[in-house]
Amino acid sequence: GGKNYRKVKEALERIRMTGIKSEGAFYHKGKKEWISKVFGLYDSIIFKGAKLEDGSIAEKNLLYLGNIYLQSLNSFNIKPIDYTYWRSLESKIASRLYEILGIKFYGVRNKKEGFIRYKYSTLSQLLPVTPHEYISSAKRQLDPANNELKDTGFISKYEWSENGNNDWLIYYWPGERAKEEMKRVRAFTTHQEEDLLPESKREVKIYSKEQVNLINKLLELNISKITAENLIKNNDQGLIKKWIEAINYSNADDKAAYLVKAIRENWQFPEEYLRKKREEQRKEEEEKTEHIKIKRQEEENKKR
């Protein structure tokens, strides 16, 4: 009903306005590096009935993912949860802590120290708990969950530290279960594209020099390799070439998503781009006319 629709709409708008601080947790496929940056999950949300950039009316709700988040998904940088293990945890705090630590462990897997740390004040906001004023109470609150994760092998150890700022630090080291999960994630991401497209294992893809050049340009615009190849395979190359240039004249927040949709649905080019092309054509015709005049003048001079 209308009430549920409003709640969903408000939730999406809150997510759109929420920022994320990443410390090596998101992978940028184009730059081939782990990102440490503040960004949002969504670039824009267009609800059904709203006016689009091309002047048309949205016939359905449109959600454009943020560039960094989209790149992370395209590179299959995801952390599957061991659902059986998650269900086996008796403490709700331990279950939530497992979700949080699993992602953070993956972000420090190549760092020398090999541990993660949280301020108690931060962690208590992420867990289903009420913050305590005294460390003794905080330990009684969290240590049963910490011990459950330790006893089941997800963490090897944990330590509390008083930093003297009316807050405490909790250090966590990954256990054998967490390390095994990270190995499975690496194996999963290595083969995921082939598993999703099994025919690609048998298909030999041959592209012309021009097609390879277009694919590389699409990759530079943060479009995934699979999507770029599909665009080349299923759309006119001349159209793709024009849109690679025309996208620079668009005000879209997520230019990669906009470009893909524009090519697939054959959208009208931005007016500023069309004006530029008309001006270039006019100058080219003037230069051609001038060149013909010069040639004729040279021929007349030779006859004299």
- pLDDT tens-digit profile of 185-233? 665 554 444 444 444 444 445 678 888 889 999 998 888 888 888 899 8
Q: Does residue 115 belong to any structural domain of this protein? A: yes
**Nearest Cα to Cα of residue 188 among 81, 104, 97:** 81
Phi, psi (5° rounding) for residue 95? -60, -45
Helix-strand-coil split of the chain, %, nearest 5: 55, 15, 25
| Last residue in a domain, options 182, 203, 233 | 182
- pLDDT tens-digit profile of 57-104? 888 888 888 877 777 666 656 667 888 999 999 999 999 999 999 888
- pLDDT tens-digit profile of 14-67? 888 888 777 766 666 566 666 677 878 888 888 888 887 777 888 888 888 887
- Are residue 239 and residue 264 in the same domain, yes or no? yes
- Are residue 13 and residue 55 in the same domain, yes or no? yes
- Give the domain range for residue 226: 213-269
Q: Does residue 289 belong to any structural domain of this protein? A: no
- Are residue 90 and residue 175 in the same domain, yes or no? yes
Tell me the pairing of strands 42-46 and 33-40: unpaired
Residue 142 CA to residue 129 CA, distance in Å, equals: 9
Alpha-carbon radius of gyration of the chain: 28
Token pair of 190, please? Answer: 């290595």
Q: Does residue 292 belong to any structural domain of this protein? A: no
| 121: pLDDT strictly greater than 70 | yes
Report the pLDDT averaged over residues 134-144: 95
In the chain the beta strands, taken as DSSP E runs, fall at: 19-28, 33-40, 42-46, 62-65, 116-119, 155-162, 168-174
- Are residue 171 and residue 221 in the same domain, yes or no? no
Residue 111 CA to residue 35 CA, distance in Å, equals: 14
- Are residue 60 and residue 87 in the same domain, yes or no? no
Residue 30 CA to residue 71 CA, distance in Å, equals: 8
Token pair of 172, please? Answer: 């966590």
Q: DSSP letter at 26?
A: E
Residues in the chain: 304
How much is the pLDDT for 18?
86
- Are residue 46 and residue 89 in the same domain, yes or no? no
**Residue 70 class from Cβ within 10 Å (0-12 exposed, 13-18 middle, 19+ buried)?**
buried
Average pLDDT along the chain: 83
| 149: pLDDT strictly greater than 80 | yes
| Number of domains, the chain | 3
- Are residue 174 and residue 219 in the same domain, yes or no? no
Q: Give the N- to C-terminal CA distance of the chain in Å, as an integer.
A: 89
Q: Does residue 104 belong to any structural domain of this protein? A: yes
Phi, psi (5° rounding) for residue 76? 60, 35
Domain holding 89: CATH number? 1.10.10.10
How much is the pLDDT for 206?
67
How much is the pLDDT for 198?
45
Q: Does residue 56 belong to any structural domain of this protein? A: yes
Q: Count H helices, E strands: the chain? A: 13, 7
- Give 45-91 as a DSSP string: EE-TTPBPTTS-B-SS-EEEE-HHHHHHHHTT------HHHHHH---
| 289: pLDDT strictly greater than 80 | yes
> Of 18-32, 161-175, 192-206, 244-258, where does mean pLDDT reach its minimum?
192-206
- Are residue 155 and residue 120 in the same domain, yes or no? yes
